[in-house]
Amino acid sequence: MTDRLYLRHSTDKQTNARQLHALSELLKSGAPKYEDPATSSRVYAVNRSGFRRLLDEAAVGDTIRIADAARLFRSAKDVIQIREVLQRRGLHLRIATGAWSGFDLAADDPQTKLFVTMLAGVLEFQRDMISENTKEGVAAAEAGGKTLGRPAALDEDQAADIVDAYAKGAAVKALARQHDVAPKTIRRVLDAARARDADGLPGELDDAATDVEDHEQEQAPDPEPPHTIDVPGLLAEHLKATETAEIRDALSGGQTIRRGQGYSVRITAPRTLHQAVLTQCAALAGDGSAPAGRKAYRTYAERIAAVTKEK
């Protein structure tokens, strides 16, 4: 049974000094340390490289120790997901100091469930208060005349020149190249000035735009047929905090298939989405990753390849 220490701080301007102090006795005893520096709490724990390495090296019965709960999770949803992962792997979770230090937060008894739920509620309350204070600060700054956010790519004079040039027949892409911006930036300027309204453009330009849109619709490929493929549980855990909405929706709507101590998530989606899932799990296939991760990645890749051959 090994104690494994986990540390995380959110930005490169912060340090782990306070966490190291809280875990100092365990560090002196030689407990292995795993860190995720400059890593936001928005990143789900199992998607962080340091915590992922901890899970890969931990054995049944080991205890994960953290300085405070915010190092590992930030909401009730996080707590539930992390507890499921730890329980499946037979791991314990303890906070080093404070009122919660006496509890194994991965335990499955009713009392622990109650206390963990309360703890998660406190964390969410703290996060919401920080968010509320930030919004109030932004509102106060704006009321004081401060300009917030990213500077505009084009000033008012440039925007006026773009509208005038477009009215004389200049193309959007040509204007984008001229001003060294993306075409969508030019379109936003034109739309803000209502310069792309049908009544304000020469008829030939309206017709040309309509022809392009019709051609794009005619050339659009037929929808790709969906395929039902089982995603190994290790990959599903890796993807729980993905920023790709389509992948999140597919996994949340999938069917969990239990196989012994492991599981898979059966999802029905186009082959391109399955390929996107595989791409986002590429880190698990590297030489430095755990054998279980490489096997799960290879299994899923073979299932996708089988669907391709059937087609």
Q: Using DSSP, state whether 270 is helix, strand or coil.
A: strand
DSSP assignment letter at 186: H
CATH number at 3-126: 3.40.50.1390
Beta-carbon-side half-sphere exposure of residue 161 (alpha carbons within 13 Å)? 9
Higher pLDDT, 55 or 10: 55
Tens digit of each residue's pLDDT (9 = 90 or more) over 155-196: 778 888 888 888 888 888 888 888 888 888 888 888 887 777
DSSP assignment letter at 148: -
The domain locations on the chain are: 3-126, 156-219, 226-310
Joined tokens for residue 217: 């619709």
Does residue 130 have a pLDDT over 60?
yes
Rounded to whole angstroms, how far apart are CA atoms 68 and 80? 17
Tens digit of each residue's pLDDT (9 = 90 or more) over 81-109: 888 889 989 999 998 876 667 788 889 88
What is the spatial order of strands in the sheet that 63-66 belongs to? 33-36, 3-8, 63-66, 92-95
